[in-house]
């Protein structure tokens, strides 16, 4: 995985996120369609 460093006038940083969801009844809630949408949103946020 390649690191992408962000820079500011006096800073250098690389933000990384770890997204975890735990639901007792995840089979009923996290359908394939919803998981795909969550992944799409996460990728859009990561690209910004």
What CA–CA distance (Å, rounded) separates 45 from 39?
A: 10
Q: Tell me the pTM.
A: 0.46
Non-local (6+) Cβ contacts of 33 within 8 A are: none
Non-local (6+) Cβ contacts of 47 within 8 A are: none
What CA–CA distance (Å, rounded) separates 13 from 7?
A: 6
What CA–CA distance (Å, rounded) separates 8 from 40?
A: 27
> What confidence tens digit (pLDDT) does each residue in 6-47 have?
888 899 878 777 878 777 766 677 788 988 998 899 888 888
pLDDT bucket at 2, cuts 50 / 70 / 90:
low
Question: Domain-by-domain residue ranges, the chain?
Answer: 21-48
What CA–CA distance (Å, rounded) separates 31 from 25?
A: 11
Residue 37: per-residue pLDDT: 93
Residue 16: per-residue pLDDT: 79
């Amino acid at each position: 995985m390649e690191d992408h460093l962000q820079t500011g006038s006096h800073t250098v940083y690389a933000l990384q996120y770890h997204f975890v969801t735990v639901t007792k009844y995840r089979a009923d809630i996290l359908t394939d369609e919803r998981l795909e949408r969550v992944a799409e949103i996460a990728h859009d946020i990561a690209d910004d």
